Structures are given as structure tokens and as C-alpha cells.
């Protein structure tokens, strides 16, 4: 399994950059994890969008879902000209339900699967796609939002999504061979953003607590230097820490 960073900025991109979007490939499945603004353009530089197996949207903030609107037009066109037959499966939170249903609406270009409708065990909802497993848990954010794990071949990619810190996170993240975690600010920003986001230092602390094998930081405020955020996380955890770079691919 491997993960390519399409966009790493939030809530707006640097010049020429993109917001949250990650391409996961493995187990015969190609999965787009979040579709922030700019990510769909990047995706097309790497692959034919017609070959996507599914899209997962962690929450309805534009830096995580704006390009879903572009993607829907692309899928609609491909189905019209016959270059893709199947609708695209979309895993999304049940809130705001109307917006996601409207997206799927005319023509059914998306086959929407609401995450809340997947079976729940110990706080985790699970499903399978080809050779990959998908796990979802509720995050602490300013609207319904999920963290995601993608599993396959004995590997576990954990994508933290957007979340404030809460006690169960370390359990949800346990066993990550790659932890992709937001570093939305420095420790000095915690008072301002800490109820709904993680700082770089918290990402490092949680990587240590959940015993992640490797930490890749992302979701950077565009005015901050990713390397400085990386250093703050690396100071509090023992595993290797990297700052996500757009276009780079990481083996999970």
C-alpha cells in the first residue's frame, strides 16, 4: 500500500499548492482520501480519474471536499461518453446529509455510503473494498468529522483527519505503520485551535502514545514553515517524523 500527497495546506493553499487530498493505492484499490481544493488537478497529473475505486470525505469543510464538485462533473462526463460505466462510491458523514445527497442526486454519479450506517464495534465502523479494509471513528471537530484507517497486507495507514485531542485517539490510531496527522499549528497556538485541531507537538505526543511506526505531518497553515512544525513534533516522539510534500509518495 502506498500514499501520495496531492495537497497538504489548510484552510487555503500556498501559491500553486492544494488543500487536503491523498491518493491511496494497494490491494487492487485506488482510493481518494479527501478532495480539498486543488487536489483533483493534482490527481489527474498522476492517474486517470476514471480508474478511481472510491472517495472518502472525512468532513464537509471546503479544504477537505471542495473538489468533490469537480470530480462529480468529471464522472458525469465519463459516464455520458461511455469511458466509465460505474458510479463512484463516496463514503461521507451523514451530516450535512442534504448536501451529500444533492451531490449524488441527478444521474447518480456518486453511490453515497453514509459512514454512520456502517456496522459499529468499540467505537469503530468498518467496511471492506477489494483487498483493503476501511475503519472510521468520530473525531472532535466543529462539525461531524471522521478519522480513517486503511488496512491491508498487514499494514495500517491512519489518517487523523481534523480533530481536537481526546482520550480514545491513541486507541483508534494504535498499530499505525504510517500515521498521517495534521499539524495545524505550533504548541503556542493550542489555546486558539486546540479544541478542534491538533498542533505539531500534540501530533508528536500522540504518535508516541499510539506507538506509530512513522509519522507524516500535514494540514499546514500556509504561512508556517512545515520543517519548523516537523521539528516540534520530532522533539516529543521517537519514530521518524516527516513533513508531507505535495507529489511525494510514501510506502505505508
What residue ranges bind Zn ion (CB under 5 A)? 61, 162
Taking the least distance from each CB to Zn ion, the nearer of 61 and 125 is 61
- Are residues 19 and 246 in contact, defined by beta-carbon separation less than 8 angstroms? no
- Are residues 55 and 90 in contact, defined by beta-carbon separation less than 8 angstroms? yes
Taking the least distance from each CB to Zn ion, the nearer of 62 and 89 is 62
128-158 exposure pattern, b = at least 16 Cβ within 10 A, e = fewer: ebeebebbbbbbbbeebbbbbbbbbeebbbb
Q: How far is the CB of 66 from Zn ion (least distance, A)?
A: 12
Taking the least distance from each CB to Zn ion, the nearer of 61 and 84 is 61
Measured CA to CA, the distance from residue 61 to residue 116 in angstroms comes to 18
> Could you tell me which residues are beta bridge partners of residue 88?
110
Beta strand 178-182 with 2-7 is unpaired
Q: How far is the CB of 4 from Zn ion (least distance, A)?
A: 21
Q: How far is the CB of 128 from Zn ion (least distance, A)?
A: 27
Q: How far is the CB of 10 from Zn ion (least distance, A)?
A: 7
Q: How far is the CB of 49 from Zn ion (least distance, A)?
A: 24
Taking the least distance from each CB to Zn ion, the nearer of 147 and 204 is 147
What is the distance, to the nearest Å, from the Cα of residue 27 to the centroid of all Cα atoms in its chain? 18
Taking the least distance from each CB to Zn ion, the nearer of 25 and 61 is 61
Grid coordinates representing 170 are 491513541
Amino acid at each position: 500500500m502506498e500514499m501520495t500527497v496531492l495537497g497538504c495546506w489548510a484552510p487555503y493553499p500556498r501559491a500553486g499548492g492544494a488543500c487536503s487530498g491523498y491518493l491511496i493505492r494497494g490491494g487492487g484499490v485506488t482510493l481518494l482520501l479527501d478532495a480539498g481544493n486543488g487536489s483533483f488537478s493534482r490527481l489527474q497529473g498522476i492517474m486517470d480519474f476514471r480508474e478511481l475505486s472510491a472517495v472518502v470525505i472525512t468532513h464537509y469543510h471546503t479544504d477537505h471536499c471542495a473538489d468533490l464538485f469537480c470530480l462529480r462533473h468529471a464522472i458525469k462526463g465519463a459516464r455520458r461518453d461511455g469511458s466509465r460505466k460505474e458510479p463512484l462510491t463516496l463514503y461521507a458523514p451523514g451530516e450535512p446529509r442534504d448536501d451529500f445527497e444533492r451531490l449524488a442526486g441527478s444521474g447518480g454519479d456518486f453511490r453515497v455510503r453514509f459512514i454512520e450506517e456502517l456496522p459499529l464495534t468499540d467505537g469503530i465502523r468498518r467496511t471492506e473494498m477489494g483487498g483493503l479494509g476501511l475503519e472510521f471513528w468520530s473525531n472532535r471537530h466543529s462539525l461531524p468529522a471522521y478519522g480513517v484507517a486503511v488496512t491491508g497486507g498487514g499494514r495500517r495507514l491512519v489518517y487523523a483527519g481534523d480533530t481536537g485531542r481526546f482520550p480514545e485517539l491513541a486507541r483508534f490510531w494504535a498499530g499505525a505503520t504510517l500515521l498521517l496527522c495534521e499539524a495545524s499549528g505550533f504548541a503556542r497556538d493550542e489555546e486558539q485551535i486546540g479544541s478542534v485541531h491538533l498542533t505539531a507537538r500534540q501530533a508528536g505526543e500522540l504518535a508516541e502514545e499510539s506507538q506509530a511506526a512513522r509519522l507524516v505531518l500535514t494540514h499546514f497553515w500556509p504561512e508556517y514553515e512545515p520543517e519548523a512544525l516537523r521539528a516540534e513534533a520530532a522533539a516529543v516522539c521517537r519514530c521518524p517524523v516527516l513533513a508531507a510534500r505535495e507529489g511525494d509518495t510514501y510506502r505505508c
